[in-house]
Amino acid sequence: MASSIAIAPASSAEWTPSSWRTKPTKQVVTYDDPTAVTSALTKLARLPPIVTPTEIVRLKSSLKDAALGKAFLLQGGDCAELFSYCSDEPIDSKIKLLLQMSLVLIWGSNKPVIRIGRMAGQFAKPRSSPTEKVDGKEIPSFRGDILNGFDVNERKPDPERLVSAYFHSATTLNYVRGQLASGIADLHNPLDWGLGHVRDKELQTRYQKIVHSISDSLRFMRTIGADTAGQLQTVDLYTSHEGLVLEYEQSLTRKLKHPGSHSPSTNCTDGKGWYNTSAHFLWIGDRTRQIDGGHVEYFRGIENPIGIKVGPSMKNDELVELLDIVNPTKEIGKVTLITRYGEEKVGAMLGPHIEAVKRSGHVVVWQCDPMHGNTRSTPSGIKTRHFSSIFSELSSALRIHRDHNSFLGGMHLELTGEAVTECVGGSVELGEEDLSLNYTSYCDPRLNEKQALELAFLVAGHYRNDRNDRRI
């Protein structure tokens, strides 16, 4: 998003946290009071980091394993967080759902699972138009709590929301860390993971079979004295968001010492690098990935692992050029390509992109986002997604990667741990007439807890069947 503050331009070759300001930028936001913007950004620049280089580098190391086919990346959370989601119950429900899904995926894929939440910072959303009509009146579009409010009387962008976003992010992540440290993810007690909110009896039965299998294995390990309890009591859960509001991201980009023996992805002469400390992982959206744009310019200079959304309009040579810009050293695990074609286009698009990246020499994490390409509206104008379309794109991606001697390294989902009715289909057979029962999203429709867990079972089943086929 464009800045409302004038900064001295940087040269085309030199990167600084502000060099994006010299580039054309999409998703522009204009504030009425530049002085208030300066004040908010100055305050952000003085606040402590939300995440640390040690955590960022640890995630990057895990993503290298995903790029090499040794791990699977599960990334999920709200389409757009609201500040009101910063509460114990909504956070707990997302943690538990991601833990449940990862347990199923570990069972199915026989690989470690990397967990990244779309949380503690996913407060901004790109919009196709800066304005919309409400009750016949044209007003600014809702662009996420970091910029304006959903209420029609709060649509004017407010720079104080930038600071509020920081504190809501920090508070959310602080609570997540506390819950993980307190044993919410302890595999010795997998039955304590709150299955009560998954009311589908068949789904509960399938999940509990996996849980019992793990419990039996843990008892066996205790019996023979091989119980590595410390490694089983907690997990890593990283945070992510779309790096859309570049003023905010710049303010939280700090030059910090590289941890341990980390080999930086950017030029480094003083043992330090530029880390975005607002989240562990950030991605560039499909609307803001222009080669000469401000977002690509910003992302090319940070040490964090990054994602790039890859939609139907992405050309093969454009994709390779993007990779060369943001990852010139071809660091494995640095870039995750998040493909989002739609079920009808994935067959024609994914294979050529895989081959183009192979020829380029880049080794990336391939991640499927089966949500964004499959959004549609009902005759009454309600946005929804069909579970069968979501699974169709995901299963097609799994097959296409196998056909091209590649592998799908992860999936990227918009989901919630609540019993919402926003996506139709699934084993509970939600219909369009059911959408009004509990449709709470202010942006895009999310999978509810039953649909998300069912999707994890389907993907896990694919991996188990694939392993069995290879044995024959």
Q: Which residues are annotated as a binding site for Mn(2+)?
A: 79, 372, 414, 444
Q: How far apart are CA 158 and CA 225, in angstroms?
A: 58
Please, are residues 53 and 429 in contact by the beta-carbon 8 Å criterion? no
Q: Which of 418, 445, 384, 413 is nearest to 84 (CA)?
A: 418
Q: Which residue has the tokens 């009896």?
A: 201
For the segment 316-334, what is each residue's pLDDT rounded down to a tens digit?
Answer: 999 999 999 999 999 999 9
5-48 pLDDT, tens digit each: 333 333 346 899 999 999 999 998 999 999 999 999 999 999 99
Cβ contacts of residue 318 below 8 Å, gap of 6+? 291
Percentages helix, strand, coil for the chain (3-state, rounded to 5) are 45, 15, 40
Angstrom distance (rounded) from CA 84 to CA 100? 24
For the chain, the first-to-last Cα distance in angstroms comes to: 53
Annotation: binding site for phosphoenolpyruvate: 118, 309, 340
Q: Are 424 and 359 in contact (CB under 8 A)?
A: no
Helical (H) or strand (E) element with 302: none
Label the pairing between strands 383-385 and 410-414.
unpaired
Backbone angles phi, psi at 140, to 5 degrees: -60, 145
The residue ranges of the chain whose pLDDT is under 70 are 1-13, 187-199, 218, 226-234, 261, 263, 265-268, 467-472
Give the domains, in start order, of the chain with CATH numbers. 34-185+235-470 (3.20.20.70)
Cα–Cα distance for residue pair 5/13, rounded to 1 Å: 22
Looking at residue 347, its amino acid is G
pLDDT recorded at residue 286: 94
Dihedral angle computed from the Cα positions of residues 198, 200, 203 and 209, in that order, rounded to the nearest 10 degrees: 80
Q: What is the DSSP string of 146-168?
A: TT--SSGGG-S--THHHHHHHHH
Annotated binding site: 79, 118, 309, 340, 372, 414, 444
3 state SS of 406: coil
Q: Is 132 left (phi over 0), alpha (psi -120 to 50) or beta?
A: beta
Confidence (pLDDT) at 192: 52
Q: Give the model's pLDDT for residue 169.
A: 98
CA distance 172 to 432: 33
